[in-house]
Structure 1
Amino acid sequence: MGYTHYWIRPALLDQSVFLEVVRDFKHVLPKLEQLGVLLGDELGRGGGPVVWKDRLVFNGRSACGHEDGFQLDTNHFLPAKRTCEGALGCCYETFSFHQDTGELEKDGDRNGRFFHFCKTAYKPYDFAVIVALIIVKHHFGQEVQVRSDGGTAYWADGMRFCQRHLGYGVDFCLDDANQRTKENVKTM
Structure 2
Amino acid sequence: MRHALLLIAALSVSSPALAADDWTRYSNPRFGYSAAVPPGFTLQQEADNGDGATFRADDGRSELSIYGTTVEGGEFAGEARKRIDRDRARGWTITYDKVTEGWASYSGSRTADVLYVRGIALCDGNAAYFRLRYPRDALKRFDGVIGRMVKSLRLATGCDRAPQKAPGAAPN
Output the TM-score relative to the length of structure 2: 0.28
Please state which structure has a larger fraction of its residues in strand.
Answer: 2
Question: Radius of gyration: which is bigger?
Answer: 2
